[in-house]
Homo-oligomer: A and B are copies of this chain.
Amino acid sequence: MQQQISVITLGVDELVRSRRFYIDGFGWKPVFANAEIVFYQMNGLMLGTWLLSALEADLRRQHAVGPGAFSLAHNVARREDVQPTLDRLVSFGGTLLLPADAPPHGGFRGYAADPDGHAWEIAWNPAWPISREGYVTFGL
């Protein structure tokens, strides 16, 4: 099967609060929005923020309260961009989980949660090239 992920859908409690984080914080532009979902065109896939009640109904399951066992990462071009990006996300409704530091596996990174608790790692990883279109490739 094609090694392809078409959408990441995050359940959110309030679209206004979530839009502030993604549109004003990350500075991303939606490609579609209605009363229950916002889609962002990302690097070869879509990010959707969908009212949690609608996502739960679609999935036919109730979710645990609280953050799930996963994280998303956004890589930045320079080591010195990591902490200011985290600060910016916090100023638009995010919660700092870990200030920027150098982990044992290399690079430089910190974590902030979005207003619904979804964890975002902001990372500088010079080993992984990112094309102008945002396509990320594994490197060692």
Shortest CB–CB separation between residue A51 and chain B, in angstroms? 10
Shortest CB–CB separation between residue A2 and chain B, in angstroms? 5
Tally of chain A residues near chain B (CB < 8 A): 68
Interface bits A1-29 vs B (CB < 8 Å: 1, else 0): 11111111111000000000000001111
**Contact assessment for B71 and A4 in the assembled complex, using a CB-CB cutoff below 8 Å:** no
Given contacts A1-B26, A71-B59, contact A137 B64 (CB under 8 A): no
Given contacts A39-B138, A44-B44, A44-B133, contact A5 B60 (CB under 8 A): no
Q: How many copies does the complex hold?
A: 2
Given contacts A6-B125, A41-B3, contact A31 B138 (CB under 8 A): yes
A59 in complex: contacting residue of B26, B46, B111, CB < 8 Å: B111
Within 8 A of B (CB), among A124-140: 125, 128, 130-131, 133-138, 140
**Contact assessment for A118 and B70 in the assembled complex, using a CB-CB cutoff below 8 Å:** yes
Interface bits A39-69 vs B (CB < 8 Å: 1, else 0): 1111111110000100110111101111111
Interface CB pairs A-B, < 8 A, 5: A4-B43, A55-B70, A60-B97, A61-B67, A64-B66
Measured CB to CB, the residues of A under 8 A from B are 1-11, 26-29, 31-32, 39-47, 52, 55-56, 58-61, 63-76, 85, 97-98, 103, 111, 116, 118-119, 121, 123, 125, 128, 130-131, 133-138, 140
